[in-house]
Amino acid sequence: MQADIDRVLIDRQAIGRRLDELAKTIAEDLSAEATGGHGEITLVPILTGSIIFLADLIRRLPIRMQIRVMSVTSYPGTATSSRGASIEAQLTKLPEDLSNNHILVVDDILDSGNTLRLVNETIKQRNPVSLRTCVLLRKTIPSAMSFEVDYVAFDIPDEFVVGYGLDYNDYYRNLPDIVTLKKHVYAGA
């Protein structure tokens, strides 16, 4: 795996520092006072890319929470660009009624906006008290920059990245840094 890495875009230390900052902001925004005494949130991570980010983020959040996962496919197999988003119902554990819930959607990367758009529309139909979004990475491209998100850990250039939960053909998720791959690894995808 290490031989496939072209360069480290964001190292694990920078990720850790940024997650400390991000968790502090989220905790302040979603505290009991900020949520009208509710003091509880429902996190909706989008599988599978967000799991590492989610795990590290929730350990930093001193808020009462539940987790309700959604599975959305947009980068099947060896794709390096979105093929359109679709919800995988069999893996999605989202109640039909969210009327008493403050929701925080957690995703790995924002590029086309199709995944978050689909997820947000699905959740809004279930009438949450509030709906916020948090992404690990946002590409600095018009489609991503024009999509409104509440929390962004890092803005990155329009490059294909893996590591820290992000994959190529289901590999590289376990890398602790966010990296680019050598072109020959995914050429022809």
Q: Which residue has the higher pLDDT, 110 or 76?
A: 110
- List C-alpha distances in Å: 2 to 5, 10, 21, 140, 184: 6, 15, 29, 26, 14
> Tens digits of per-residue pLDDT, 99-155?
888 999 999 999 989 989 999 998 999 999 999 999 999 999 999 999 999 999 999
In a domain, 86, yes or no: yes
In a domain, 20, yes or no: yes
User: CA 112 to CA 146: how far, in whole Å?
Assistant: 10
Q: Are 44 and 123 contacting, i.e. CB atoms less than 8 angstroms apart?
A: yes
Residue 74: the pLDDT is 63
Q: What is the pTM of this model?
A: 0.86
Which amino acid is residue 89, in one-letter code?
Answer: A
User: CA 107 to CA 44: how far, in whole Å?
Assistant: 9
Catalytic residue numbers read 111
Q: Which range marks the domain in which residue 140 is found? A: 14-24+39-156
User: CA 85 to CA 107: how far, in whole Å?
Assistant: 13
The total number of structural domains that make up the chain: 1
User: CA 102 to CA 128: how far, in whole Å?
Assistant: 6
CATH number at residue 104: 3.40.50.2020
User: What average pLDDT does the structure give for the chain?
Assistant: 87
Residue 16: the pLDDT is 98
